[in-house]
């Protein structure tokens, strides 16, 4: 079946078209097109994502992006497809708050034949509601014009599904998923397809959020995750070189201070996380340094980035390891934007390499680097799984809303 998917939950406008087959045992995805338009440059100067600015950009860009995706997939057929006046009126009413999206979609789809699409999937939460609504309204409009069902998809289910393109065989359950993104830090037990139990989550900041906040403290641009990770990588490489070259030479007093940040809740008996204390420790360390220095030099920033990243890695590892020991999953899934981080990926690879010590082999699944951060392909994949799991769940009903705090259920 062919699925067109739309993702607008934050600052990426993304559209994908896939041809999916193979069912739940051997799901196979032929990507016909996949486009991601990042708004990072626009939000960068504000140091974070502005919901209404994100909404405006999605409204402007989504229509042309859908057209481009259809063209790339070979599904665009020029035609004079006059949309009946009463249908135009209905769409206009639905999109009254998004006139730009309305004009875009109308102009585009009056010039194309109805494409061969079986299902439209769209993220309906969690995320920024004004941004989510753009995708939802566009999906509903296209569903109306093309007479195709529209399926709402949970963004976090999308992140979980992003690993399916990397899976070499059928997913074995139970699976344990660690979801680490800009808005979430969750440990989820998956007993079967789409059957979730959240066993732990962050009590304050999400991992990605704390990466972004610490980056801001260090004067690095948004989004800070990749910036911190690059600095930490350099610090690691330099430390290794030093250790190799200088075996017996004493360094004397180093000009770069050393740091020791806490590993929050690492020993607590639950599976919850908390990162605000770690964030505050970094803040205090920087504040103390600023008393004696006019500005942080690069070497100090690298040392902070490294110790901060190590604290995050150790905390994530400890909680996940304990969950593995208790629940003995057959598959470990790690997904969400933060898994782009090389050091975090490597730490979990190492953990699962020795998985026989847990009593059984654990298959470790992570998305490719490109599918780690927000994208529409993962939404299309999740929609296929949902359609396969309960084909009857697809209805003509398009009566769903954006849910900023939508949870996995
Ligand atoms: O999943 P995602 O694209 O969006 C949300 O659903 O939130 O995740 C974005 C988050 C941002 O906080 C970003 O700083 C973080 O992922 N991130 C990283 C790295 N690349 C992106 N964090 C640490 N290291 C990275 N290399
Ligand atoms: Zn995300």
Q: Ligand 1, atom 7: nearest CA belongs to which residue?
A: 182
pLDDT tens digits in sequence order for the chain, 409 residues long: 999 999 999 999 999 999 999 999 999 999 999 999 999 999 988 888 999 999 999 999 999 999 999 999 999 988 887 888 888 898 888 888 899 999 999 888 888 899 999 999 999 999 999 999 999 999 999 999 899 999 999 999 999 999 999 888 889 999 999 999 999 999 999 999 999 999 999 999 999 999 999 999 999 999 999 999 999 999 999 988 876 655 545 444 457 889 999 999 999 999 999 999 999 999 999 999 998 888 899 999 999 999 999 999 999 999 999 999 999 999 999 999 999 999 999 999 999 887 777 777 899 999 999 999 999 999 999 999 999 998 877 777 788 999 999 999 8
Closest listed residue to residue 290, CA positions, set 217, 389, 384: 217
Q: Using a 6 Å cutoff on CB, does residue 165 contact ligand 1?
A: no
Rounded to the nearest 10 degrees, what angle do helices 129-146 and 85-94 cross at?
A: 170
Site to substitute for ligand 1 among 49, 208, 316, most atoms within 8 A of C-beta: 208
In angstroms, the CA 69 to CA 307 distance is 42
Return the ligand 1 atom nearest residue 127 CA.
6
Task: Give the Cα separation of 49 and 252 in Å (integer).
Answer: 45
Neighbours of 192 (CB within 10 A): 12
Which of 337, 366, 406 most suits a substitution to test ligand 1, by most atoms within 8 Å of the C-beta?
337
pTM of the shown model = 0.95
Encode burial over 65-101: b for 16+ CB neighbours within 10 A, e otherwise.
bbbebbebbebbeeeeeeeeeeeeeebeeebeebebb
What DSSP designation does 145 have? H
CA nearest to 382, candidates 134, 11, 29: 29
186, 198 in Cβ contact below 8 A?
A: yes
Q: Which ligand is nearest to the CA of 316?
A: 1
Q: Report whether residue 12 contacts ligand 1, using a CB cutoff of 6 Å.
A: no
Least distant ligand from the CA of 340? 1
Question: E strands of 68-113, at which residues?
Answer: none
Which ligand minimizes its atom distance to the CA of 378?
2
Q: Which atom of ligand 1 is nearest to the CA of 9?
A: 6
Q: Could you tell me if the CB of 212 is within 6 A of ligand 1?
A: yes
- Please work out whether the CB of residue 211 comes within 6 Å of at least one atom of ligand 1: yes
Omega into 223 within 30° of 0, i.e. cis?
yes
Task: Decide whether any atom of ligand 1 lies within 6 Å of the 336 Cβ.
Answer: yes
- Cβ of 161 less than 6 Å from ligand 1: no
275 lines ligand 1 (CB under 6 A): no
SS3 of residue 51 by DSSP: helix
Smallest-distance ligand from the CA of 379:
2
Q: How far is the CA of 157 from the centre of ligand 2 (A)?
A: 10
pLDDT at 199: 98
Q: Is the CB of 14 under 6 A from ligand 1?
A: no
Check if 205 has its Cβ closer than 6 Å to any atom of ligand 1.
Answer: no
Cα(71) to ligand 2 centroid in Å equals 26
pLDDT of residue 248: 46
């Amino acid at each position: 079946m062919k699925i067109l998917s739309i993702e607008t939950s934050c600052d990426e406008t993304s559209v994908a078209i896939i041809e999916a087959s193979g069912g739940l045992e051997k799901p196979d995805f032929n990507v016909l097109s996949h486009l991601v338009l990042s708004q990072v440059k626009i939000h960068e100067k504000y140091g974070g994502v502005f919901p209404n600015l994100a909404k405006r950009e999605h409204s402007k860009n989504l229509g042309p992006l859908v057209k481009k995706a259809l063209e790339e997939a070979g599904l665009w057929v020029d035609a004079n497809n006059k949309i009946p006046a009463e249908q135009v009126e209905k769409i206009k009413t639905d999109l009254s708050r998004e006139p730009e999206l309305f004009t875009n979609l109308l102009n585009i789809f009056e010039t194309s034949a109805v494409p061969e699409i079986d299902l439209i999937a769209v993220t309906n939460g969690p995320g920024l509601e004004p941004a989510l609504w753009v995708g939802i309204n566009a999906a509903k409009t296209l569903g109306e014009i093309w007479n195709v069902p529209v399926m709402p998809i949970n963004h976090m289910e999308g992140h979980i599904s992003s690993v399916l393109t990397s899976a070499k065989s059928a997913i074995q359950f139970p699976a344990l998923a660690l979801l680490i993104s800009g808005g979430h830090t969750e440990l989820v037990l998956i007993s079967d397809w789409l059957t979730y139990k959240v066993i732990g989550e962050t009590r304050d900041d999400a991992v990605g959020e704390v990466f972004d906040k610490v980056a801001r403290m260090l004067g690095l641009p948004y989004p800070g995750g990749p910036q911190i990770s690059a600095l930490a990588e350099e610090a690691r490489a330099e430390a290794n070189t030093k250790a190799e070259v200088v075996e017996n030479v004493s360094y004397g007093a180093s000009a770069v201070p050393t740091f020791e940040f806490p590993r929050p809740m690492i020993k607590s008996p639950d599976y919850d996380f908390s990162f605000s204390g770690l964030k505050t420790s970094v803040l205090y360390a920087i504040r103390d340094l600023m008393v004696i220095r006019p500005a942080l030099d690069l070497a100090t920033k690298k040392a902070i980035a490294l110790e901060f990243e190590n604290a995050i890695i150790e905390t994530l590892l400890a909680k996940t390891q304990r969950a593995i020991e208790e629940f003995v999953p057959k598959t470990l899934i790690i997904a969400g934007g933060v898994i782009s981080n090389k050091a975090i990926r490597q730490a979990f690879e190492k953990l699962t390499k020795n998985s026989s010590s847990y009593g059984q082999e654990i298959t470790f699944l992570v998305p490719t680097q490109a599918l780690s951060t927000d994208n529409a392909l993962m939404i299309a994949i999740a929609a296929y799984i949902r359609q396969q799991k309960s084909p009857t769940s697809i209805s003509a009903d398009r009566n769903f809303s954006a849910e900023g705090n939508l949870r996995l259920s």
